[in-house]
Amino acid sequence: MEALSAQLDTDTMPVHVAIIMDGNGRWANDRGLPRTAGHKKGVDAVRETVEGAAEMGIQYLTLFGFSSENWKRPESEVSDLMGLLRFYLQREITTLHKKNIRFRIIGDRTKLSQDIVKLIEKGENLTQLNQGLQLTIALSYGGHADITHAAKLLAQDVASGLISPEQVTEEKLAEKLSTSDLPNPDLLIRTSGEKRISNFLLWQTAYSEFVFVDTLWPDFDKNQLAEAVGTFQKRERRFGAVGS
């Protein structure tokens, strides 16, 4: 990690990195283990990645933990995932707080059990003033739903006379998204070799750099993160303009 990080340019470090954590099930299947074993090992990868991002000076890290579509998975698997979420919230938040990391959740909390919601709120309240890495985990999250909810809020503003239809802009819609207080991701990483973004941060990643790695999520570590950042730093970001 130290050798790879030393090769990175601190002046072009991505401010915000988003990661689609994919491959837990395949990792387990490859080893003849139940899918839950992959999810448990994936929690270790989360811990490793958060530590690596903080050490590298990345300011914002957003992890896709559970999509709105994941509720369609077998009930037993969803139950196991929720159990791991409880474990993470109970065991990791204090550590995050000690490391000055701010923790937050985006997504539809109405589908989560009340005890999990209370653990989330406790963690957010405990870490809300921390100034280190800003860690966001997307749970029960979908990009379509995020944009739709933002549009509804804007429509309510128009209906109540706060703004006119002509005053609806991209900037005003972005202010209604669940990530309104975060910069858009500079870098989006997806593990497991899949090359799609699966309804994750659709609006926010319009000009993100995408890096797809073959590594399954449970095997993702600080070195893999540093390599992805190194790939990002070799890109020329033009945001629709003509390159140099």
Catalytic residues: 22, 70
Q: How far apart are the C-alpha atoms of 13 and 73, rounded to whole Å?
A: 37
Q: How far apart are the C-alpha atoms of 70 and 199, rounded to whole Å?
A: 11
Q: How far apart are the C-alpha atoms of 240 and 151, rounded to whole Å?
A: 25
Q: How far apart are the C-alpha atoms of 197 and 19, rounded to whole Å?
A: 10
Query: How many angstroms from the chain centroid is the CA of residue 126?
Result: 20
DSSP structural state of residue 112: S
Q: Which amino acid is at 219?
A: D
Residue 75, exposed/middle/buried by CB under 10 A (0-12, 13-18, 19+)? exposed
In the chain, how long is the greatest CA-to-CA distance? 60
CA distances (Å), 236 to each of 22, 71, 85, 152, in order?
27, 38, 38, 36
Q: Which amino acid is at 109?
A: R
78: its two tokens:
């969803």
Residue 96, exposed/middle/buried by CB under 10 A (0-12, 13-18, 19+)? buried
CA angle 28, 29, 30 (to 5 degrees): 90
Three-state DSSP class for 164? coil
